């Protein structure tokens, strides 16, 4: 006798549930998606004990009549697709016809529904696949589904549920995704009778984000930059967190495709690339990205919970997103606001986003000002831009700090401190500039531009400089011949294991060719050679900019400083060095006045 059996329907449903129903939050997700597909404008989610005891979801959607209510809980029943052709271009969130059957196979479910044009409501109960009769009852238009004691007949799965708090965290996350995807939806979330969220439909996106994610401390300042583009059938809207609100994980990267929350490695990569050089290593930007494109241009039928999709033209999606985000980020002033220790408090109260080093600089600056304040004139110091209106307030003896040769009252005044930092006056305060970091970022932008237009200009060396190479380095040079050419580096074989630099980029006139080649060899040899040629070029440019830039500890003349400041103002993204560290920290007069208790 054969050993192979056909499984009964309930077993089939339970197995399907294993894929889509992992925990209470999965139930919340599936039921909310059904409500949205039913055209709901309001969804109320009420749970008890982290969803382990009860998950209740009510909507004001189109509802179901008696016949549909009975059928909805059978497996592979759906109103959203009919033929295989419908699979290409799915515009609803659901289509697999499995969620309700799966949920009803692992819990006690009661559903009440009233179709929009119907005078009466109907009700059905299913206990772990054991289906009751549809009976009439009274209820408002729409649908309410209650799911009790999830997995109660499956102790092994129930055991895997975490504490109510943890499960609630997952449920809140699902609610947040829906809330961001559907701005016009009224949403409430209640846990054990306590309201956790009440979001009014039509609220602006920024407000919703601030309300959903208080831990990002957004809302008070404009920490999110809006980018948008509409090209090649792809509509992109993004709210981009400034580098100051970056995180240690990519948890706050929300990507929505036609109102569906998705995860996609191409898109994550595009986001990462867009922020290249703007964040320190190990930091992840906060990004809310909304993509609209024709449903025919991707396939959602590739993952049981539909969290992944397959783009037919992933390269286009990648490049459009990268371009829109990068352009916006580079065109925005991302300068880091400096934080002075708050008046009257010990400096241990570290600010949220400023790094430890910027805090140190802020402390040092506060100290610097304290020490350099001429004691007898203390009360006369005015940190005001010298405008004609303010002129009468400015004491005739200017503070030492601003006695720079160029301090004519109109141009920014500056001073170099510790041969490493430049303090410069601005209209509304002053900035501290890391001379190496700023110069590096200027050079990097410059190099990028030049290389985009072709190759770097180079110069033949009078005497070629030779160096030894290992076979793997020779190979790396061969593999990257194009890159070397674009950099304006010409190498010639000089002996069995020796090569010589024959031409070198003009821009690197103050860099030792051999020193540069050493670092370049390290980089090329250890680069994971792959399709990411752009990434490698970028690393080479980073390194080049770093080597060619003014060093910390280098004394600069006033005209050199003036040039640096002028170039910095011209550069697109001079607020961060290519490694993502800030180049400039801003302080406002208001902060200073507070610090010195003048206000
Ligand atoms: P799918 O969403 O993939 O179609 P489900 O099992 O989630 O499969 O739901 C089955 C069907 O039940 C849906 O296609 C829809 O017609 C109906 N349905 C489910 N939830 C609701 C609801 N809240 N309001 C109206 N109809 C619903
Ligand atoms: Mg569904």
pLDDT tens digits for range 113-141: 999 989 999 999 999 999 999 999 999 99
d(CA 183, CA 160): 33
**Ligand 1 atom closest to the CA of 98, numbered from 1:** 6
218 or 123, greater pLDDT: 123
Taking the C-alpha atoms of residue 237 and residue 248, their distance in angstroms, rounded to an integer, is 24
Q: How confident is the model at residue 381 (pLDDT cuts 50, 70, 90)?
A: very low
pLDDT value at residue 363: 56
pLDDT at residue 405, rounded to an integer: 40
pLDDT at 365: 54
Strands 498-505 and 336-337: unpaired
How much distance in Å is there from the Cα of 79 to the middle of ligand 1? 7
Ligand nearest to the CA of 82: 1
What span, in angstroms and rounded, lies between the C-alpha atoms of 256 and 288? Answer: 8
Residue nearest to atom 12 of ligand 1 (CA): 72
- pLDDT the model gives residue 366: 55
Residue with tokens 């831990």: 215
Gap from CA of 95 to ligand 2 centroid (Å): 6
Check if 93 has its Cβ closer than 6 Å to any atom of ligand 1.
no
Q: Which residue has the higher pLDDT, 520 or 348?
A: 520
Q: What is the mean pLDDT of residues 246-273?
A: 93
Residue 342 binned pLDDT confidence (cut-offs 50, 70, 90)? low
| Ligand 1 pocket, residue 550 CB under 6 Å | no
Q: In the predicted model, what is the mean pLDDT of the chain?
A: 84
Residue for token digits 């440019």? 541
Question: Which pLDDT value is given to residue 399?
Answer: 31
| Residue 92 Cα: closest atom of ligand 1 | 2
Res 220 pLDDT > 60: no
Residue 64 CB–ligand 1 contact under 6 Å: yes
Report the pLDDT averaged over residues 247-252: 87
Lowest-confidence segment of 241-250, 343-352, 565-574 by average pLDDT:
343-352
Helix, strand, coil percentages in the chain from 3-state DSSP, rounded to 5: 40, 25, 40
Q: Which of 150-154, 256-260, 313-317, 392-396 has the lowest mean pLDDT?
A: 392-396
For ligand 1, mutation pick of 17, 33, 34 (most atoms within 8 Å of CB): 34
If one compares 533 and 279, the residue with the highest pLDDT of the two is 279
What is the model's pLDDT at position 390? Answer: 34
Q: Best substitution site from 37, 44, 58, 303 to test ligand 1's pocket, by max atoms within 8 Å of Cβ?
A: 37
User: Does residue 358 register a pLDDT over 90?
Assistant: no
Closest atom of ligand 1 to 30 CA is 7
Distance 143 CA to ligand 1 centre (A): 10
Please report which ligand is nearest the Cα atom of 143.
Answer: 1
Average pLDDT over residues 452-474: 87
Question: Is the CB of residue 72 below 6 angstroms from any atom belonging to ligand 1?
Answer: yes
pLDDT winner (highest mean) among 232-241, 440-449, 458-467: 232-241
Alpha carbon of residue 437 to chain centroid: 24
Instruction: Give the model's pLDDT for residue 402.
Output: 32
Q: Which residue has the higher pLDDT, 453 or 311?
A: 311
C-beta neighbour count of 537 within 10 angstroms: 18
Pick from 43, 60, 78 the residue to mutate for probing ligand 1's pocket: most ligand atoms within 8 Å of its CB. Answer: 78
Ligand 1 in reach of 80 Cβ (< 6 A): yes
* Window from 9-13, 22-26, 343-347 with minimum mean pLDDT: 343-347
pLDDT of 476 reads 85
Q: Which ligand has the minimum distance to the alpha carbon of residue 124?
A: 1
Q: Two tokens at 376?
A: 């007898």
The reply to whether ligand 1 has any atom less than 6 angstroms from the CB of 79 is yes
pTM, whole model, 2 decimals? 0.68
Name the range with the highest mean pLDDT among 197-201, 539-543, 554-558: 197-201
404 C-alpha to center of ligand 2: Å? 70
Q: What is the pLDDT of residue 449?
A: 85
> Which tens digit of pLDDT belongs to each residue from 426-459?
888 888 999 998 998 888 888 888 888 888 899 9
Which carries the bigger pLDDT value, residue 358 or residue 2? 2
486 by Cβ neighbours in 10 Å (0-12 / 13-18 / 19+) ranks as: middle
**Cα 96 to ligand 2 centroid, rounded to whole Å:** 7
Closest ligand 1 atom number to CA of residue 99 = 6
């Amino acid at each position: 006798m054969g050993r192979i059996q056909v499984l009964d329907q309930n077993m089939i449903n339970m197995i399907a549930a294993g894929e889509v129903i992992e925990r209470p939050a999965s139930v919340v997700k599936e039921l909310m998606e059904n409500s949205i597909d039913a055209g709901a404008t309001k969804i109320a989610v009420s749970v008890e004990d982290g969803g382990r005891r009860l998950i209740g979801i009510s909507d004001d959607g189109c509802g179901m009549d008696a016949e549909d209510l009975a059928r909805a809980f059978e497996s592979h029943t759906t109103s959203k697709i009919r033929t295989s052709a419908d699979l290409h271009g799915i515009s609803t969130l659901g289509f697999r016809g499995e969620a309700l059957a799966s949920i009803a196979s692992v819990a006690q479910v009661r559903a009440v529904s009233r179709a929009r044009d119907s005078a009466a409501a109907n009700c059905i109960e299913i206990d772990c696949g054991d289906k009751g009769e549809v009976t009439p009852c009274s209820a408002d238009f729409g649908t309410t589904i209650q799911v009790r004691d999830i997995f109660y007949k499956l102790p092994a799965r129930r055991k895997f549920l975490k504490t109510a708090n943890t499960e609630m965290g997952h449920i809140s996350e699902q609610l947040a995704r829906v809330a961001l995807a559907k701005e016009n939806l009224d949403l409430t979330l209640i846990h054990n009778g306590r309201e956790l969220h009440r979001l009014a439909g039509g609220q602006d996106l920024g407000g919703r984000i601030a309300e959903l994610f208080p831990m990002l401390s957004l809302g008070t300042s404009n920490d999110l930059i809006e980018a948008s583009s509409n090209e090649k059938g792809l509509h992109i809207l993004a709210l981009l967190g400034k580098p100051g609100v970056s995180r240690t994980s990519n948890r706050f990267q929300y990507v929505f495709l036609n109102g569906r929350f998705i995860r996609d490695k191409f898109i994550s990569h595009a986001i990462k690339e867009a922020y290249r050089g703007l964040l320190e290593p190990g930091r992840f930007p906060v990004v809310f990205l909304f993509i609209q494109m024709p449903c025919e241009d991707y396939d959602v039928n590739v993952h049981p919970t539909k969290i992944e999709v397959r783009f037919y033209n992933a390269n286009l999606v990648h490049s459009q997103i990268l371009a829109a985000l990068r352009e916006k980020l580079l065109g925005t002033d991302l300068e880091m606001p400096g934080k002075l220790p708050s008046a009257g408090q010990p400096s241990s109260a570290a600010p949220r986003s400023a790094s430890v080093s910027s805090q140190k600089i802020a402390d040092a600056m506060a100290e610097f000002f304290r020490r350099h304040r001429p004691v007898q004139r203390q009360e006369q110091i005015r940190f005001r831009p010298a405008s004609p209106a303010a002129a009468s307030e400015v004491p005739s003896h200017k503070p030492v700090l601003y006695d720079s040769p160029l301090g004519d009252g109109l141009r920014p005044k500056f001073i170099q401190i510790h041969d490493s930092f430049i303090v410069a006056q601005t209209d509304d305060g002053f900035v501290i500039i890391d001379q190496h970091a700023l110069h590096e970022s200027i050079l990097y932008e410059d190099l990028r531009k030049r290389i985009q237009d072709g190759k770097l200009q180079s110069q033949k060396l009078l005497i070629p400089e030779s160096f030894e190479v290992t076979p793997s380095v020779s190979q790396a040079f061969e593999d990257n011949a194009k890159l070397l050419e674009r950099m304006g580096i010409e190498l010639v074989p000089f002996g069995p294991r020796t090569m010589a630099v024959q031409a070198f980029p003009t821009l690197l006139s103050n860099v030792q060719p051999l020193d540069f080649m050493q670092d370049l060899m390290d980089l090329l040899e250890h680069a994971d050679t792959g399709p990411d040629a752009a990434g490698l070029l970028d690393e080479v440019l980073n390194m080049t900019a770093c080597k060619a830039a003014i060093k910390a500890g280098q004394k600069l003349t006033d005209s050199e400083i003036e040039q640096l400041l002028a170039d910095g103002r011209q550069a697109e993204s001079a607020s961060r060095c290519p490694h993502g560290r800030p180049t400039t920290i801003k302080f406002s007069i208001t902060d200073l006045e507070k610090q010195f208790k003048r206000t």
